[in-house]
Structure 1
Amino acid sequence: MTIRPACVEDIPMVTSLLRRACVTVAQRFGLTEENCPKSPAFYTEDRVKADLERGVQYYFLEEGAEVCGCVALEKARPEIGYLERLAVLPEHRSKGFGSALVRHVLARAESMGLERVGIGIIAEDEPLKEWYRRFGFVLTGTRQFDHLPFVVAFMGKELREPSEKETLNPVVSDREEP
């Protein structure tokens, strides 16, 4: 298994992988292109290109010559990054690939000097919340957005020990929208 950065030439592969991997989540939660057009299940090459242009870095996980999954890391602010678009193709799930991609993003974020990594997920997805808790993510808040047919649960993981001031004044969510 290897994990490598995706580049501009990989835009079609990123798009295809996201659409194929995320359709199961869309089906499970009743997401459609009409009620949730920003879902990775309905991603377009233009959206991936826009992600790359604003500094989002995608990573592929490959087993042999086959791309099995991807994840993205966005540096939102000097101290905060977002783990986004974690996707493993259905036929490659339960092999530890998702865990490997999360660990890779956390290591990259730490090497970039980030202090915290955040995620936004469907609040109703309890198994996914529990899965992220195993990596040290904690629930920091929830929010309903007008353009989404579900409540978003925000989770975060500190990459360093917070100062006393930060523990007295925790941030509920520093993200405007997923």
Structure 2
Amino acid sequence: MITIATLEDVSTLEKLINSAYRGETSKKGWATEANLLEGKRITLDELEEIIKNKENTILKYTENNQIIGSVLLSNKGNKLYLGMLSISPELQNRGLGKKLLQEAEVHALSLGLPKIVMTVITIREKLIEWYKRHGYVDTGVREPFLLNDSDSIITDQHLEFMVLEKIL
């Protein structure tokens, strides 16, 4: 079941998002950043601020009363920004990410927004290909990768973001 996350979900979401992106646990899934970055992907305080901002919605995917997936959706006026798509590493490859993407499209259209945009680290080729299979295209725009306070880069490869979009 996909519903909107609330402040009561912050602790569970923080664990899910961090486990999906970083650390040893994330390596159980295919969408990990653990070979590129160390540190927390998000903090409790950052998640609280995101949820408190009325331009943001975090959708949560719940199964058996456990949050196993989530995605951040931010209203940017003429487009919806999609970020932090997270699926529990042990449950990746079950179509849960696809369901969250579909629900993001429903959300965008309900707000009257004609497109969804996102940023993905350019060297995450497998992930970029997955998004392309779901209708996202490379806009050609690149943005600098800026470190959070808790991030540290553990690769020699240059990190930058690719901007992907899907017209609805």
Global fold match (TM > 0.5): yes
Unmatched tracts of structure 2, length 5 or more: 27-31, 148-152, 154-158
Runs (4 or more) in structure 1 with deviation over 6 Å come to: none
| Residue identity in the other structure for 2:49 | A
Return the offset for 1:14: 1.3
Return the offset for 1:48: 0.5
User: C-alpha deviations, 1:98-122, integer Å up to 9, x for none?
Assistant: 1111111011111110011101001
User: C-alpha deviations, 1:84-104, integer Å up to 9, x for none?
Assistant: 110001111111101111111
Q: Does the 8 Å contact 2:13/2:67 carry over to 1?
A: no
Partner of 1:28: 35
Partner of 1:92: 91
1:154 matches 2:160: no
Take 2:14 and 2:163, find their aligned partners in 1: how far apart are those partners? Answer: 24
Q: Which stretch of structure 1 is more off in the superposition, 149-158 or 94-103? A: 149-158
For normalisation by structure 1, the TM-score amounts to: 0.78
Alignment size in residue pairs: 149
Unmatched tracts of structure 1, length 5 or more: 34-40, 160-178
Partner of 1:57: 57
After superposition, residues 99-118 of structure 1 pair within 5 angstroms as 99-118=98-117
RMSD: 1.5
Sort the Cα spacing of 1:75 and 1:42 in 2 relative to 1 into closer, same or farther, 3 A.
Answer: same
Which gives a bigger RCO, structure 1 or 2 (Cα 8 Å, sep 6+)? 2
* Percent identical residues: 27
User: C-alpha deviations, 1:17-55, integer Å up to 9, x for none?
Assistant: 1111111323122x123xxxxxxx431111011112223
Partner of 1:129: 128
SS of the equivalent of 1:68 reads strand
SS of the equivalent of 1:28 reads coil
Q: Which structure would you say has the larger Rg?
A: 1
Take 1:20 and 1:145, find their aligned partners in 2: how far apart are those partners? Answer: 24
Return the offset for 1:146: 6.0
Return the offset for 1:124: 0.8
For normalisation by structure 2, the TM-score amounts to: 0.82
Q: Does the 8 Å contact 1:123/1:142 carry over to 2?
A: no
Partner of 2:29: none
